[in-house]
């Protein structure tokens, strides 16, 4: 039997990979224009980074990590997300002050695969470090919004909430636990067990939605400073014309968040895993990792989901397909293809020994715009060029094929 790709992983091949290519390219251009620098961190990290940074009580750390021991006896984990790594790298690099970085790459989470949820999945994201201004939150949210726009995804809205500062969360947590305790018999088993470990998570549980509907909201319990920050974010989004809706029940599954949390949804994408991206402010993270306090805000976009939601792109084709009419001219044809490529054109030929007819079939299937036939007329310095859309043909001087093709 041929080995299969591991469960929950995907091979991304052409022509389907075209959407991925465009999205990744578009993201790089976008991030660079907003001033974020290319950032790469390891795909695997010491397990401790995630247990401390992401939080031991979170689902991600509790049961979704790919963790193994390496040959040196170290506990290693394939990264389930990139933010902790970027902050670790920042703290360890001696970098001072503001840092803006973007990243793109695969993440790993041991989960049951379904639509929009894979064991290896791709994220692109930005992190804006050492900038406490709510305008940094706004800029980060804007980057994600623009990415979705330029990917052709319509009806995008930003769901927005504030979960306050750590002290607010502690107080709120008590109030929420009290509320949940009164209704414990109505809750699902998971919700009950989560009451002690991570009660905020009960808020966005689908099974407990009706019970939680009139629970106190984090937004009502935040301190003055956090409320002012939130107001600043809202005002900024309005100024930037980014559509948002305040979602009092929105919380994030990772422990490091404070204040602003957000996610992107689109009416054009309606799988159960509906968030196309998400993020928030995570001022506590640097200290959780043992560093000095560093204000921070960032986002991660789910590339797999975005590609699912994107319009499909018709595959492109070669500008000039070179066909060999006389096998003795094969080397000349190879030379012509190389010359066309040097001239910046997409040029191909069939390297097998197929008949001219078969070569035309291949050319047609590949979506070639023009086919240049290398045959007897080569000795007169000519090739026959056929326009595939209407079949019109004409002789063209060999050295003029490139310029001729560029203008047609």
- Give the rounded distance of the alpha carbon of 110 from its chain centre: 18
Specify the residue, 52 or 201, whose C-beta has the smaller distance to RNA: 201
Query: Least CB distance from residue 96 to RNA, whole Å?
Result: 27
- Direct distance between the N- and C-terminal alpha carbons of the chain, in angstroms, rounded to an integer: 49
What are residue 370's DSSP bridge partners? 320, 387
User: Are β-strands 296-302 and 120-129 bridged in parallel, bridged antiparallel, or unpaired?
Assistant: antiparallel
Specify the residue, 227 or 274, whose C-beta has the smaller distance to RNA: 274
Query: Least CB distance from residue 280 to RNA, whole Å?
Result: 9
Query: Least CB distance from residue 117 to RNA, whole Å?
Result: 4
Query: Least CB distance from residue 129 to RNA, whole Å?
Result: 17
Query: Least CB distance from residue 170 to RNA, whole Å?
Result: 19
Specify the residue, 74 or 359, whose C-beta has the smaller distance to RNA: 359
The span from the CA of 34 to the CA of 150, in Å, is 15
User: Are β-strands 244-246 and 156-162 bridged in parallel, bridged antiparallel, or unpaired?
Assistant: parallel
> What is the spatial order of strands in the sheet that 277-281 belongs to?
37-38, 99-108, 120-129, 296-302, 277-281, 258-266, 156-162, 244-246
Query: Token pair of 387, please?
Result: 């326009």
Specify the residue, 98 or 114, whose C-beta has the smaller distance to RNA: 114
Residue 140: count other Cβ atoms within 10 Å of its Cβ: 27
Query: Least CB distance from residue 97 to RNA, whole Å?
Result: 26
Specify the residue, 135 or 204, whose C-beta has the smaller distance to RNA: 204
The span from the CA of 373 to the CA of 388, in Å, is 12
Specify the residue, 265 or 402, whose C-beta has the smaller distance to RNA: 265
């Amino acid at each position: 039997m041929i080995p299969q790709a591991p469960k929950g992983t995907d091979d991304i091949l052409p022509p389907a990979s075209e959407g991925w290519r465009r999205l990744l390219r578009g993201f790089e251009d976008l991030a660079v224009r907003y001033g974020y620098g290319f950032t790469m961190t390891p795909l695997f990290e010491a397990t401790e980074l995630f247990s401390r940074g992401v939080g031991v009580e979170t689902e991600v750390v509790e049961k979704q990590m790919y963790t193994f021991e390496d040959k040196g006896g170290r506990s290693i984990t394939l990264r389930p997300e990139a933010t902790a790594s970027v902050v670790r790298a920042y703290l360890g690099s001696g970098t001072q002050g503001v840092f803006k970085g973007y990243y793109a790459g695969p993440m790993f989470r041991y989960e049951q695969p379904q639509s929009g949820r894979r064991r290896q999945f791709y994220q692109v994201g930005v992190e804006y470090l050492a900038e406490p201004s709510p305008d940094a939150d706004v800029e980060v949210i804007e980057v994600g919004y623009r990415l979705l726009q330029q990917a052709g995804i319509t009806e995008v809205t930003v769901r927005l909430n504030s979960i306050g500062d750590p002290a607010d969360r502690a107080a709120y947590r008590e109030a929420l636990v009290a509320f949940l305790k009164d209704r414990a018999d109505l809750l699902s088993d998971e919700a009950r067990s989560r009451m002690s470990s991570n009660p905020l998570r009960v808020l966005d549980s689908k099974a407990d939605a009706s019970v939680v509907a009139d629970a106190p909201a984090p937004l009502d319990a935040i301190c003055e400073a956090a409320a002012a920050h939130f107001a600043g974010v809202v005002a900024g989004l309005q100024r930037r014309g980014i559509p948002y809706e305040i979602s009092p029940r929105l919380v994030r599954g990772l422990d490091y968040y404070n204040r602003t949390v957000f996610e992107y949804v689109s009416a054009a994408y309606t799988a159960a895993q509906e968030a196309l991206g998400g993020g928030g402010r995570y001022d506590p993270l640097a200290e959780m990792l043992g560093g000095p306090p560093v204000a921070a805000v960032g986002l991660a976009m789910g590339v797999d989901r975005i590609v699912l939601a994107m319009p499909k792109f018709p595959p492109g084709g070669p500008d000039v397909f070179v066909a060999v009419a006389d096998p003795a001219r094969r080397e000349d044809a190879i030379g012509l293809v190389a010359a066309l490529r040097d001239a910046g054109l997409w040029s191909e030929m069939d390297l097998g020994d197929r008949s001219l007819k078969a070569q035309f079939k291949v050319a047609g299937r590949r979506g070639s715009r023009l086919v240049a036939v290398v045959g007897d007329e080569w000795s007169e310095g000519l090739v026959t060029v056929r326009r595939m859309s209407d079949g019109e043909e004409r002789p063209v001087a060999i050295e003029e094929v490139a310029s001729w093709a560029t203008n047609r």
